[in-house]
Every structure is written in C-alpha cells, then in structure tokens.
C-alpha cells in the first residue's frame, strides 16, 4: 500500500515505514503529525484518485529529527563590471517516518 501526499507545496510518494525529508514542520522529535492532503491511495489492488484530495483519508507520521539541507550557494557575477555577490542558504527540513496510511478513524 502506498499513497501520494502533499505538504510544503510538494508531493511525496510514501509507504509504511518510509523515511522522508519534508519542509519544516512544527514539533519535537517523537511527536506525531498527520497529513490531511492525500492525493492518491493505492491499497494493493485498485487505485483511488482524489480531485484534488481524497476526503476522509489521512497519513500519520512520526517526527524523527529537525535538520537542515546542505548549503546552496547563489553566486552572481557581472563580467567586466567588477561586481559580484555570493549568498548562501540552508533550507530547514523535518525528517519523518510514515507510521500509518488509512482512513481518518484509523490514522488520526
């Protein structure tokens, strides 16, 4: 069984016990989070596709760690103008482990 969820403006294909890095979510390690935006659900046979989301479906996860992505350098240079700019950025991420995929009563 797998599902496609939406969080932080991105979509993720998840199954039970998967570990994924999503945009920063509030919470401490060990806390439980529930993703309400389930776009697609594949329970073995068949397929359920939402328009845009499936009502009554949830995916539960546990926060593993609050971390940051590797640094991305944005370097801009204007040739022959003696002008350059270097900026760095590290995106805040949350590592989560998917615990349950299912109905609102089961996963929430």
Q: Which structural domain range is residue 31 located in?
A: 2-107
List the one residue out of 22, 13, 12 whose CA is nearest residue 92.
Answer: 22
- Reading the chain (108 residues) residue by residue, the pLDDT tens digits are 899 999 999 999 999 999 999 999 999 999 999 999 999 999 888 898 999 999 999 999 999 999 999 999 999 999 999 999 999 999 999 999 999 998 665 544
What pTM was estimated for this model as a whole? 0.83
Check residue 104 and give its pLDDT: 64
| Contacts by residues 36-41 (CB-CB < 8 Å, ≥ 24 positions apart) | 37/5, 37/6, 37/7, 38/3, 38/4, 38/5, 39/3, 39/4, 39/5, 39/6, 39/11, 40/3, 40/4, 41/1, 41/3, 41/4, 41/101
């Amino acid at each position: 069984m797998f599902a496609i969820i939406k969080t932080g403006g991105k979509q993720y294909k998840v199954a039970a016990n998967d570990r994924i890095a999503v945009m920063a979510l509030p919470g401490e390690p060990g806390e439980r989070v529930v993703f309400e935006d389930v776009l697609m659900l594949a329970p073995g046979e068949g397929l359920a596709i939402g328009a845009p989301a499936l009502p009554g479906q949830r995916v539960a996860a546990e926060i593993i760690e609050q971390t940051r992505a590797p640094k991305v350098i944005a370097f801009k240079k204007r040739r022959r103008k003696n002008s350059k700019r270097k900026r760095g950025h590290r995106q805040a991420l949350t590592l989560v482990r998917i615990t349950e995929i299912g109905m609102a009563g089961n996963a929430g």
